[in-house]
């Protein structure tokens, strides 16, 4: 069997419909969470151990509004899509309603992401900054 | 969503671990948000909600608006709980990064190097996180 290797850019251009979109978004948001959380843990560690200005700057950047919106997008999308994959793997008959479940997932995601993201971006629920 | 690579034992157990740790993290995050919004004295801002959802240990949540954080959330149980959560979440994340790396990096030597780097980062994040949780600095 010969495996076809698709590059990242080819995957973005692939017209595979909604399934390909949620799959690549799951990857992007997963890597995003990993990057931000690892950076946060390391910055907290070096800030406590060395008290260096770089860690302090990273922590300040981490608490800024665009990053908060991005973290919220990544975590909420990854959690909802992961929950859908989990349900489909635990109970395979649900795979008959695969597309409907994806639309349900977007129907939950858009208001649950959009409303708090709007408030965060307008600075309504962010104290301090 | 199914991966079409050969399924040896370790690969299967990591696949299963990804699902089980997802259940754990979803429940822990939901419980943290519900607790914070039940006991918070006012409407909490976004970063306070994040702090409670991801990592409910007292030094992480003591500036939020929930009263009596210090005696309740500083005992050994919550430190061990947060350590477990950190290790489970890191393994979930770095294992996911390994799967992504295996999909996009084809030269075997480069892949081995990248996987070694991922393992090193995993160990460093776990170690640094444990030091912070137990305040050993």
How far is residue B76 from each of residues A47, B81, B108, B127, measured CA to CA in Å?
Answer: 24, 8, 44, 18
Can you tell me the mean pLDDT for A22-51? 92
Return the SS3 of B56: coil
Return the SS3 of A6: coil
Q: Does A41 touch chain B (CB under 8 A)?
A: yes
Match 């006012």 to its residue by tokens.
Answer: B42
Which band of pLDDT confidence, cut at 50, 70 and 90, is reported for residue A126? low
Per-residue pLDDT of B75-119, as tens digits, reads 888 889 899 999 999 999 999 999 999 988 889 999 999 999 999
Yes or no, beta carbons of B46 and A85 under 8 Å apart: no
For residue A110, pLDDT beyond 50: yes
How far is residue B33 from each of residues A15, A21, A123, B5, B53, measured CA to CA in Å?
Answer: 38, 29, 20, 38, 5
Q: Give φ, ψ of B25 to 5 degrees.
A: -70, -35
Q: Does A118 touch chain B (CB under 8 A)?
A: no
Q: Where are the alpha helices (DSSP H) in chain B?
A: 9-39, 46-54, 58-61, 69-72, 76-104, 108-134
Closest Cα in chain B to A78: B22
Q: What residues contact A62, with CB distance under 8 A and at least 6 apart? A: A36, A39, A40, A43
Return the SS3 of A41: helix
pLDDT, position B91: 96
Per-residue pLDDT of B51-82, as tens digits, reads 888 888 877 877 777 777 777 777 888 889 89
Yes or no, beta carbons of A30 and B43 under 8 Å apart: no
Burial class (CB in 10 A: 0-12, 13-18, 19+), A83: middle
Closest Cα in chain A to B17: A86
E strand or H helix that includes residue B97: helix B76-104
Can you tell me the mean pLDDT for B35-49? 80
Cα–Cα distance between A127 and B35 in angstroms, integer?
Answer: 20
Say what the ipTM of the complex is.
0.86
What residues of chain B lie within 8 A of the CB of A79, using their CB? 26, 29
Q: Which of 33-72 (B) contact A at CB < 8 A?
A: 43-47, 50, 54
Highest-confidence segment of B27-31, B49-53, B131-135: B27-31
Q: What residues contact B50, with CB distance under 8 A and at least 6 apart? A: A68, A71
Q: Where are the alpha helices (DSSP H) in chain A?
A: 8-13, 18-49, 53-62, 65-90, 98-121
Q: Which of 49-68 (A) contact B at CB < 8 A?
A: 49, 63, 68
Q: In the structure encoding, which two tokens stand for residue B66, read together? A: 């929930």
């Amino acid at each position: 069997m010969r495996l076809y290797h698709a590059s990242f850019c080819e995957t973005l251009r692939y017209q595979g419909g909604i399934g390909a979109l949620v799959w690549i978004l799951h990857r992007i948001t997963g890597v995003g969470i990993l990057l931000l959380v690892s950076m946060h843990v390391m910055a907290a560690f070096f800030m406590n151990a060395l008290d260096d200005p770089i860690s302090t700057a990273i922590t300040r950047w981490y608490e800024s509004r665009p990053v908060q919106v991005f973290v919220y997008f990544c975590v909420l999308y990854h959690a909802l899509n992961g929950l859908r994959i989990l349900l489909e793997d635990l109970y395979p008959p649900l795979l008959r309603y695969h597309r409907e479940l994806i639309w349900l997932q977007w129907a939950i995601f858009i208001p649950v992401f959009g409303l708090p993201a709007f408030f965060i971006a307008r600075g309504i629920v962010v104290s301090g900054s | 969503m199914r991966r079409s690579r050969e399924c040896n034992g370790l690969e299967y157990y990591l696949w299963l671990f990804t699902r089980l740790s997802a259940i754990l993290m979803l429940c822990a995050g939901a419980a943290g948000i519900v607790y914070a919004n039940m006991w918070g004295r006012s409407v909490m801002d976004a970063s306070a909600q994040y702090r409670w959802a991801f990592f409910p240990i007292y030094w992480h949540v003591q500036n939020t608006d929930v009263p009596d954080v210090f005696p309740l959330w500083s005992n050994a149980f919550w430190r061990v709980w947060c350590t477990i959560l950190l290790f489970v979440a890191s393994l979930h994340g770095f294992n996911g990064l390994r799967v992504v790396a295996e999909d996009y990096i084809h030269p075997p030597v480069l892949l081995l190097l990248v996987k070694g780097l991922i393992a090193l980062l995993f160990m460093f994040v776990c170690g640094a996180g444990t030091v912070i949780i137990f305040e050993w600095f």
